[in-house]
Amino acid sequence: MIGEPEISQQPAYSAAVIRLDIPREAIGTEMPAAIAELRAALHAQAIEMTGPLFCHHLRLSKDRFTFDAGFPVSRAPSAAGRVRAVDFPAQRIAHVIHTGPYDELFRAWTAFEIWLQAARLTLGPTILERYVKGPESGAPPAEWQTELIRPLAV
């Protein structure tokens, strides 16, 4: 279930990320390892996470994902293993909150894409998901919240 989509200005921010290029079915094993590696690198460098985990999808296909998994951070980290720093520019975005389990995300994206088409927005080439409230919160899957984000083209 998605809420009411909005358009807003997202401020610039720095992030620590790990790039993954994996088969779809590997997400369940690759993501936890990447998250653990990110957390360990940030802890070792005494860098504070300033927001929730996100995935910046660069390429999606039926059988493969290429994306950066990361956290917004208080300062850019030094490269460590697969961890690297990226800076996201300030930009206009269309976004909406999906409430429910992750296996409903495809349906939520479909509903959001219908709204985006009806709004006749010019979209950028990538998508983002911010995992606002997930399994780590202890909440049941019906209460998880994922922010779906489409950067808008200038």
Amino acid of residue 97:
I
Longest CA–CA separation in the chain, Å: 46
Tokens of 80: 């460590």
| Each residue's pLDDT tens digit, 48-94 | 999 999 999 998 788 899 999 999 999 999 999 999 999 999 999 99
| Each residue's pLDDT tens digit, 84-133 | 999 999 999 999 999 999 999 999 999 999 999 999 999 999 999 999 99
List the CATH number of the domain containing 15: 3.20.80.10
**Tally of domains in the chain:** 1
CB contact set of 31 (below 8 Å; sequence gap of 6+) = 20, 69
pLDDT, average across residues 21-36: 94
Please answer whether residues 121 and 94 qualify as being in contact, where contact means their C-beta atoms are separated by less than 8 angstroms. yes
Quick check: is 123 in a domain?
Answer: yes
Q: Per-residue pLDDT for 45 more than 90? A: yes
Whole-number Å distance between alpha carbons of 77 and 79: 6
Quick check: is 1 in a domain?
Answer: no
